[in-house]
Amino acid sequence: MNNSQRLAELIKGIDGSYLTEAEKNNAILSAERSETLVELVFSAYTSVKNALVKVKNSLVPSIQAHKHQA
């Protein structure tokens, strides 16, 4: 179960009486942008990792075949 909250939700829950509405909106937009960037980087990392594992797995049998022939 995932109990994490989005940064924007956490920002909305704090006492922002000392902030203008524009400052609070900027903080929320910045948090959402940061979360999106982190998700994008993690997704790219996962895709590259999966691709490299597939390449490695496809090469392992051929490498082992060459070892047995030598």
Q: In which domain, by residue range, is 54 found?
A: 7-69
* pLDDT(42) > 80: yes
Q: How far apart are CA 50 and CA 56, in angstroms?
A: 10
Query: Does residue 2 form part of some domain?
Result: no
Query: Does residue 64 form part of some domain?
Result: yes
pLDDT at 39: 95
Of residues 65 and 57, more confidence is placed in 57
User: In this prediction, what percent of the chain has a pLDDT beyond 90?
Assistant: 49
Q: For 7-25, how does the pLDDT look when each residue is reduced to its tens digit (9 = 90+)? A: 888 888 888 889 899 999 9
Total domains, the chain? 1
User: In this prediction, what percent of the chain has a pLDDT beyond 70?
Assistant: 83
Mean pLDDT of the chain: 85
Query: Does residue 1 form part of some domain?
Result: no
